[in-house]
């Protein structure tokens, strides 16, 4: 029986690398996959799922009004073995429900990869829905970027152009160079948000 999987972490933990490896495992067995990436991130990476270690793969770009269920329903002639979603935090709750329905009705595994919380420590809409509805939750781990800290990073902090911590602003701002990841203790001390 197929399942919906949510692989989550902070930035720089290897989510996209893990997604691309999973896709490769299907492809070497001649199994068809659909890879998706959100429109908001696609422009930054030319429509590719891109890993910081240099791997990349073309993906179907989706907007917030994209209907995953209708897409699969109209492509039933294609035998799909897995659906892989990068930057899953940008899914809407409705889209997560569509992916769950696909999994349940078409018996297609869905593997979502994304960040759990934003730079203020709040859940993204897609992440909240996946935490609620996914069959399996898999945390990918990385370490706090505070000097000499070996705790697991669970929080993402945004920096301004001068490297100062930012605690206000739009939830979504694309660009990996403006973020650092911290354990909750150091995030709390640096941001004052918790």
Q: What is the pLDDT of residues 55-66, one digit of tens each?
A: 778 899 999 999
42 pLDDT band (50/70/90 cuts)?
low
Mean pLDDT of 171-193: 88
176 pLDDT band (50/70/90 cuts)?
low
What is the pTM for the complete model shown? 0.92
Are 150 and 19 in contact, with CB atoms under 8 Å apart? no
51 pLDDT band (50/70/90 cuts)?
confident
pLDDT for residue 9: 95
Mean pLDDT of 184-190: 95
CB-side exposure of 92: number of CA atoms within 13 Å?
11
Mean residue pLDDT across the chain: 92
Q: Which residues are catalytic?
A: 87
Q: Give the pairing of strands 155-159 and 4-9.
A: unpaired
Residue 100 confidence (pLDDT) above 90: yes
> Is residue 43 classed exposed, middle or buried when 0-12, 13-18 and 19+ CB atoms within 10 A define those classes?
exposed
Residue 37 confidence (pLDDT) above 70: yes
Residue 45 confidence (pLDDT) above 70: no
Q: What proportion of the chain, given as a percentage, has pLDDT over 70?
A: 96
C-alpha distances (whole Å) from 103 to each of 43, 66, 86 are 28, 17, 17
Mean pLDDT of 82-111: 98
pLDDT for residue 150: 92
């Amino acid at each position: 029986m197929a399942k919906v999987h949510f692989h989550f972490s902070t930035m720089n933990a290897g989510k996209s690398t893990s997604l691309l490896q999973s896709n490769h495992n299907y492809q070497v067995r001649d199994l068809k996959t659909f890879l998706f990436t959100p429109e908001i991130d696609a422009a930054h990476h030319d429509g590719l799922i891109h890993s910081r270690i240099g791997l990349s793969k073309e993906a179907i770009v989706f907007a917030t009004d994209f209907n995953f269920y209708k897409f699969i329903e109209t492509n039933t002639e294609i035998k799909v073995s897995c659906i892989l979603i990068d930057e899953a935090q940008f899914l809407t709750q409705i889209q997560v429900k569509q992916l769950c329905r696909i999994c349940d009705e078409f018996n297609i595994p869905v593997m979502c990869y994304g960040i759990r919380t934003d730079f203020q420590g709040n859940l993204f809409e897609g992440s909240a829905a996946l935490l609620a509805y996914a069959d399996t939750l898999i945390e990918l781990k990385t370490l706090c970027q505070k000097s000499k800290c070996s705790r697991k990073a669970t929080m993402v902090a945004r920096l301004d152009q001068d490297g100062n911590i930012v605690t206000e602003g739009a939830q979504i701002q694309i660009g990996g160079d403006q973020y650092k990841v911290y354990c909750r203790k150091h995030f709390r001390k640096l941001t004052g948000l918790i």
